[in-house]
Amino acid sequence: MRIAFLAAPEGVEQVELTSPWEAVTSTGETPQLVSTQPGSIQAFNHLDNGDTFPVDRTVDDVTAEDFDALVLPGGVANPDFLRLDPRAVAFAKGFFDAGKPVAAICHAPWTLVEADVVRGRTMTSWPSLRTDLTNAGATWVDEPVQVCDAGPNTLVTSRKPDDLKFFNEALLTAFGSRAAS
């Protein structure tokens, strides 16, 4: 299974990138880091610089058809940058158009609000996104993880790094991972 992890050149919350990445690689899946620019991305540990990670592909070189699923890690800046880039928004929306599973944690649903794919879905996120998601037509719940099968695909959402255990388990199941069966 080929899984895209979409992150901006700067601002992704490191643990929200690395923990799901490790979860999917532990099951034999093939993750690829997709960004809006080639080179590497700068991760953050809350507000402090974290590690850098090499970009495998850019949104200019791929489509949702190249992958089986999408992970959107959070961090405040990451989805804020992504939602301002029409190429990144179109890439994320492509997974919904193709009926492929998507997982988004923390602030990552901002990108999905911009892609106009949350209407009619029950979701969770970092609490400050509640109004944005509700205004975009989603039902917001305060739960460690929410799996929504409304619409053409499965959407897994989670609130914060403390919920990563639940997030990873749910995304492995939603993605049909070999370890989830």
Catalytic residue, candidates 83, 93, 100, 107: 107
What is the distance between the alpha carbons of residues 70 and 128, in angstroms, rounded to a whole number?
A: 23
Would you tell me how many other CB atoms lie within 10 Å of the CB of residue 99? Answer: 11
Report the distance separating Cα 145 and Cα 107, nearest Å.
14
- Residue 164 burial by Cβ neighbours in a 10 Å radius (0-12, 13-18, 19+): buried
Partners of 35 in the β-ladder: 58
Which residue type occupies 68? D
**Strand partners of residue 145:** 158
How far is it, in rounded angstroms, from Cα 156 to Cα 9? 24
Does residue 148 have an active-site annotation?
no
Residue 163 corresponds to which tokens in the numbers above?
């919920």
Catalytic residue among 106, 145, 147, 148: 106
Annotated active-site residue 107? The verdict is yes
Q: Comparing C-alpha atoms, which of 86, 76, 36 is closest to residue 59?
A: 36
Residue with tokens 């699923």: 69
Catalytic residues: 106-107
